[in-house]
Amino acid sequence: MNGQKVVKVFCHEQASLEEFNKMNEELFESANNANTFANILMPINAQLVISVMYSVRWQAVSLHCRALQDLRLVNWSVS
């Protein structure tokens, strides 16, 4: 280990190293599973966002068209 202070106490180095390696392997597996899950969900989330954007856009266009139709029905004659 570089840059770390290593304290040797009661010949416990081997047990500490084994515990560290076990925890390191668990963390590696956890990070690997999280990365796999994120890589699977990213395209799904992207498509969801795109579909929501188009849905909102479609609703806005629909409301705009209805508003224009309502304006055409109003009698705009000035007397």
Running DSSP on this structure, what letter comes out for residue 10? T
Torsion of CA 45, 46, 52, 55, to 10 degrees: -140
- Lookup: tokens for 31: 């990070």
Per-residue pLDDT, 77: 55
pLDDT bracket for residue 79 (50, 70, 90): low
Per-residue pLDDT, 25: 96
Running DSSP on this structure, what letter comes out for residue 54? H
Query: pLDDT for 12-36, tens place per residue?
Result: 778 888 999 999 999 999 999 999 9
Per-residue pLDDT, 39: 93
pTM, two decimals, is 0.50
Query: pLDDT for 29-74, tens place per residue?
Result: 999 999 999 999 999 999 999 999 999 898 888 888 877 777 666 6
